[in-house]
Structure 1
Amino acid sequence: MAEHQDGTRAAYDGIVELYASLFAGRLETQPFARAMITTFAELVRGTGNLRTADAGCGPGHLTAMLHDLGLDAFGLDLSPAMIDHARRAHPALRFDEARMEALPVEDGTLGGILAHYSMIHTPPGELPALLAEQARALAPGGLLLVSFFATGGPEPVRFDHKVTPAYSWPVDRFADLLTAAGLAPFAQLLHDPASERGFLDAHLLARSLAP
């Protein structure tokens, strides 16, 4: 686990300013993703627990969006350079360096977790443990919105992401992993790709089943 995380951290540390400039306003041209995040925020507000982690927050633009949508949002990222940028760009919000496999929160305390294309670099064998960690952190009825690249085949597909190697997933397989982690998928959106890679873009909403 440490080896691939070290590589991912170093890769993102090296492209912070370029990444931030490319993605800061990208949702303006992605209506489906924007709609799913807005729906996620509305559902989290409905739970009464506004505390929400933007897991893999990058430069912090989606953390700020969640805040604007009425959530008590904070950002977490593996890359210290991304966290430094996010703190400068959004000084009123909280950002901390952390791994998604070890969220710095107590059990059952979050109303929501946003994982916007932030699980794509996790090798398939390590994804179940990562999802179990999200389930641990969510309060009963809490929401997880995870977005990723989808493939139509039966198995995950490793591909050369522009930053560092990543994986696309069959949506049903990913949903099964959510269920195994103690989360109940209840909504999904699958749409044409926003990039030249040819994978579909997938968004899954799941609810914590914790007692």
Structure 2
Amino acid sequence: MSVVTSDDWLADTRISYDTVAVDYADRQRDAIAGDPYLRAALAVFADRVRAAGGGPVADVGCGPGHVTAHLRGIGVDAFGIDLSPGMIDVARRDHPGLRFQVGSMTHLHLGDASVAGLLAWWSSIHVPDDEVPIVFAHFHRILRPGGPLQLGFHVGDTSRLKTEGYGGHPMAVHVHRRRPDKVASWLRDAGFEIEAQWLCDPDEPVPQALLFARRLP
């Protein structure tokens, strides 16, 4: 079996999402408006940011920027970061005036304790298990003590190679499904306290989970 290096999966993820960026944006444009549970999760996140004193919030793995824009619409000073330059181009096109930048969650170029909150919705699903602690260590480093973190991910115990994506375009990304208790354990090891856990679509073949956490001092 071949070994997938860090550069391999990052490059594959970047190229894949560059390829599908426009079609992905079209698919996701009304996702939040059509889901009351996602809107509720973002409202809770916004309240937690305000309770922690407010300030800039990083939407890590922001894709086409629809979540970033929703957060701005409910009063959160959010900005977006994504590995894919194509996604960032679409985000800037669709949401002019908002801040978006290219960056990797494995090497976040943000200052220590520089953000008041961090959201990563279904953007860590391509990160290999052995790299997740590195990602969560970066999340801990850039968050202020007490700052809220919200993660969304697919629930399960398997990984699959996604070879075709939105609009029928070719992709080459591994999608990792994980149990909430496993993700929560990684977060605790990184210095976070788990505040709540939501399980969405539990009767679907692949449920979705949201973890609400905060950075410990």
Query: Could you state the TM-score of these two structures normalised by the residue count of structure 2?
Result: 0.90
Q: Which of residues 124, 129, 150 is equivalent to 1:124? A: 129
SS in 2 for 1:48: coil
Mapped pair 1:108 → 2:90: no
> What is the aligned length?
204
Report which stretch shifted further, 45-54 or 8-17. 45-54
Quote the sequence identity (%). 40
Q: How far has the Cα of 1:133 moved from its partner?
A: 0.6
Q: How far has the Cα of 1:51 moved from its partner?
A: 0.7
Structure 1: unaligned runs, 5 residues or longer: none
Q: Which residue is equivalent to 2:186?
A: 177
Mapped pair 1:31 → 2:63: no
Query: Could you state the TM-score of these two structures normalised by the residue count of structure 1?
Result: 0.92
Inter-partner Cα distance in structure 2 for 1:71 and 1:118? 20
Q: How far has the Cα of 1:193 moved from its partner?
A: 5.5
Inter-partner Cα distance in structure 1 for 2:207 and 2:161? 16
1:165-203 superposed Cα distances (whole Å, 9 cap, x missing partner): 210111111100000000111111012269x7x111100
Q: Which residue is equivalent to 1:53?
A: 58
Q: How far has the Cα of 1:37 moved from its partner?
A: 1.3
Q: Which of residues 145, 152, 177 is equivalent to 1:147? A: 152
Tell me, yes or no, if the aligned pair for 1:190 and 1:203 is still in contact at 8 Å: yes
Q: How far has the Cα of 1:148 moved from its partner?
A: 0.2
Q: Which residue is equivalent to 2:176?
A: 167
Q: Which residue is equivalent to 2:11?
A: 6
Cα RMSD for the two superposed structures = 1.4
Q: How far has the Cα of 1:29 moved from its partner?
A: 2.5
Inter-partner Cα distance in structure 2 for 1:20 and 1:49? 28
Structure 2: unaligned runs, 5 residues or longer: 1-5, 166-170
Q: Which residue is equivalent to 2:213?
A: 206
Tell me, yes or no, if the aligned pair for 1:33 and 1:203 is still in contact at 8 Å: no
SS in 2 for 1:139: coil
1:59-91 superposed Cα distances (whole Å, 9 cap, x missing partner): 011111111111111100000011111111111
Tell me, yes or no, if the aligned pair for 1:16 and 1:59 is still in contact at 8 Å: yes
Name the amino acid aligned to 1:170. R
Tell me, yes or no, if the aligned pair for 1:184 and 1:209 is still in contact at 8 Å: yes
SS in 2 for 1:175: helix
Give every structure 1 segment of 4 or more consecutive aligned residues whose post-TM-superposition deviation is greater than 4 Å.
none
Mapped pair 1:189 → 2:198: yes
